Amino acid sequence: MNTTPHTISSGTLAVVFSRFGPYHLARLKGARREIESAGGSLAAIAVASSDGVYAWDRVEGEANNPVHVIFGDRAYEEIPAADLADRLRALLDELDPIAVALPGWAFLEARVGLRWCQKKKRAAILMSESAKGDHFRLWPRELAKQFLVRQFHAALVGGRRHAEYARLLGIPRACIFWGYDAVDNDYFIRESDRVRSCAAAERAAGGLPKRYYLTSSRFVLKKNLAGLLRGYALHTARVPDSPDLVVCGDGPLRSSLIELARELKLESRVHFVGFIQYADLPRYYALAEAFILASTTEQWGLVVNEAAAAALPLLVSNRCGSAPELVNEGENGFTFCPMTPQAIAEAFEKLPVDSAVLQRYGQRSRELVAEHSPRIFGEKLLEAARMGLARLGREDLGPPGGLM
């Protein structure tokens, strides 16, 4: 083990994810800026280059945002547990960070990283967007989880619901920091404004309807797209001139959802456009009148961040972790219970019809999401690392609670 004291000018903070998507790289760019301004360095680690959940194009970082991808030729699900553990430990030994930020507690890489930190006496930072109400919780499992989570020195979480759960699991309130869930706000602001400046051409290029609401998610049960379609059908029966509904995404329920749209006689009103890559997303956000997410379970919902940065009014399920932070009732949108089609229909009908008011809602969405940016992620990650090091009795990154 390297026993040379780590100083602010040489200390490395490692951040581990299962794989990198566009929002991971945006956060890491913000973190790198903040950590380097404090005199440290960032090591960004992904276990794999792809996975079976998200169909993002592969992203391997930029020249100014280098990353370490442990298994660059394999999907995450294909990696044997023993290989993952061995290779991650070896990379951490090589990088020798003074603090490691880890993605939750359920993933193998998080548990391996935590054990490495314990062995090397380094600060372990929990990154989490889990809340107590996400699922039905069994107390024996919660006790085991508490034992594990209490071994982290600090936590970086999404918002208030996630902070409350981290505290219940044993992390002291003073060691919990908000700001984990962020996307590249500047990108969606810039690109959505550009699309609106040439709306007719962009609408034609995307084959998009003149007026539409937008949703974007994986086609899995918890996203409640069937409930959304039923709620939208009720709404259009009452408001026939309502905008269409554009659905971005893909997944195992695709065929059943298309069939449901036919049964509800929505074939001409609902547009399934497939999985949209990052470069094309701003077009779909920018030309929509509002964004809706009807999930019955959603740890956060980063699509809400994207829609907010694109200046859209928001309709967000009250089961979404982002709802308390990104929706102010009657200012930029509304929350709703996703469990009945009637409640979803009523959510659509709460939206103002005046275009000027809708525009004000969109601008308020941008103001709210500004508090959830890659810069904030970087600031809070650094604060969490400082707190973790302070709990270990180390001063490598200066005092907790602020930048040096």
Give the separation between CA 345 and CA 338, rounded to whole angstroms.
Answer: 10
* Domain parsing of the chain, residue ranges: 12-182+373-391, 185-369
C-alpha dihedral sign at 117, 118, 122, 124: positive
Q: What is the mean pLDDT of each run of 10 residues along the chain (404 residues)?
A: 37 93 91 92 92 62 70 90 97 96 93 96 95 77 88 96 95 96 97 97 95 97 97 97 97 96 97 94 98 96 97 97 97 97 98 95 98 96 94 63 35
**What CATH superfamily is the domain 185-369?**
Glycogen Phosphorylase B; (3.40.50.2000)
Give the DSSP per-residue string, 64-130: TB--EEEEEEEEGGGS-HHHHHHHHHHHHHHH--SEEEEETTTSHHHHHHHHHHHHHT-EEEEEE--
Task: Enter the tokens of residue 210.
Answer: 């003149």
pLDDT at 394: 64
pLDDT at 10: 56
pLDDT at 63: 45
pLDDT at 7: 35
C-alpha 242, offset from chain centre: 30
Taken as a whole, the chain contains a residue count of: 404
pLDDT at 346: 98
Assign a CATH topology to domain 12-182+373-391.
Answer: Rossmann fold (3.40.50)
**12-182+373-391 shares its CATH topology with 185-369:** yes
Give the separation between CA 192 and CA 178, rounded to whole angstroms.
Answer: 27
pLDDT at 351: 96
pLDDT at 51: 73
pLDDT at 138: 72
pLDDT at 59: 57
Give the separation between CA 17 and CA 215, rounded to whole angstroms.
Answer: 26
Quick check: 400 and 175 in contact, CB under 8 A?
no
